[in-house]
Amino acid sequence: MSKDLFITAKETRGKSNPIVAALLYTYCPAAAHWYVRNRPVEDVFDLMWKALEDYATDKTLVECLTEYGLSTVLPVVQEYVDKVKVFRRHHTNGMPAPETTMLFKSGKRADITYGIQNELENLGGSWNNLLEYTRIWAYLMRDWKTGMKLPMGENTTREFKKFTVSFSAPGVYARLRVHFPVWGWEVTVGRVKSVYLGLLVSSRRQDALRFALVNNSDLVGDKPWPDGKRPFVYALDQVTGEADYMNPTIDLECVLDTVMPMYRAARIGPNLPLAALRDHHRCLSCGYRKMCVGDKSNTMHAASLNQLLHENKRERLYLTGIVEADQGEIEGDYE
């Protein structure tokens, strides 16, 4: 999941924030390279983010689909929901989200689902996106709440909302704190409030820096967390619906100490396009994809790779203000 990251990159464009640069560096050093050089960020559509935004409005799935002009397919959508329900009932042997496996057949598109391409564009333009949007509403939200063990019962309310938290890190001045969007639930039991934050992940992999920053965060405006209690931070798998409590593999303070070195690396270079080298699917969700491959290509341009690897000192000075690889000089930019 990267939508939250590129929203923040777009909001801080031109300010070259160390925390944002470090987050981008863990995503792909090439993305951090373009960010600190003030390159434009593309707004990449993310179906999961769209679904969560809609879910947080307190409207129903039917209301949202109707507003998108998709009321004619509601019977087919209900049929899909029922089919998943039956399939899950017969595959309860510890397999999370069995409907995402090849064993599940969603069926062929009915005739009434054609001729609605303009309406489907609201959800990314494909029929499969509509089904996945429905699955998020009908099943993933419930799976996450169950996995997080959110309190239930009388005198209990659960409000799903987007929190805006404030990031800080060692060596980063207070005026450079970053505002970052995080989805979660505010749960009230009687008069006691608790916050459960969920960071979207793939394959249950917890990226250490994002989790450490959220765990160390405050609410924007130096507002305290409800009842002075730190939030519970979970990893929410956006495919299987599994929810895992934050489980750092590196000491959280040590992770935060990597922010300035990664910022320094992004500005000094060279910056390898690790996402493209390791998993090109990650490039499809990157807000800086066009900087690497252009508008119509899926292959990295030689000129882009050359800048990432062989940027000369004069160009680097012009774009970032940094010539030497001295930590003190970088921190000095913010004195």
Q: What pLDDT is recorded for position 326?
A: 42
Cβ–Cβ < 8 Å for 61, 137: yes
Q: What pLDDT is recorded for position 324?
A: 46
- Amino acid identity of residue 133, one-letter, is Y
Largest CA distance in the chain: 66
Residue with tokens 């409207």: 59
Return d(Cα 179, Cα 207) in angstroms, integer. Answer: 18
Q: How confident is the model over 74-113, as pLDDT tens digits? A: 999 999 999 999 999 888 777 899 899 888 887 767 666 6
Report domain extents, the chain: 48-144
Q: What pLDDT is recorded for position 318?
A: 63
Cβ–Cβ < 8 Å for 322, 328: no
Q: How confident is the model over 16-45, as pLDDT tens digits? A: 899 999 999 999 999 999 999 999 999 989
The DSSP string of 215-270 is HT-EETTTBPPGGGPPPEEEEEETTT--EEE---SS-HHHHHTTHHHHHHHHHH--
Q: What pLDDT is recorded for position 331?
A: 42
Cβ–Cβ < 8 Å for 236, 199: yes
* Cα-to-chain-centroid distance, residue 252: 20
Q: What pLDDT is recorded for position 294?
A: 82
Distances (CA, A) of 41 to 153, 164, 188: 44, 20, 38
Q: What pLDDT is recorded for position 229?
A: 86
Residue whose C-alpha is closest to residue 185's, from 177, 174, 193: 193
Per-residue pLDDT of the chain (335 residues; tens, 9 = 90+): 689 999 999 999 878 899 999 999 999 999 999 999 999 999 989 999 999 999 999 999 999 999 999 999 999 999 999 999 999 988 877 789 989 988 888 776 766 667 888 999 999 988 999 999 999 999 999 999 999 999 988 889 999 999 999 999 999 888 888 999 999 999 999 889 999 999 999 989 999 999 999 999 999 877 888 888 899 999 999 999 999 999 988 999 999 999 999 999 999 989 999 888 887 788 888 999 999 888 777 788 888 888 889 877 777 776 776 544 444 444 434 33
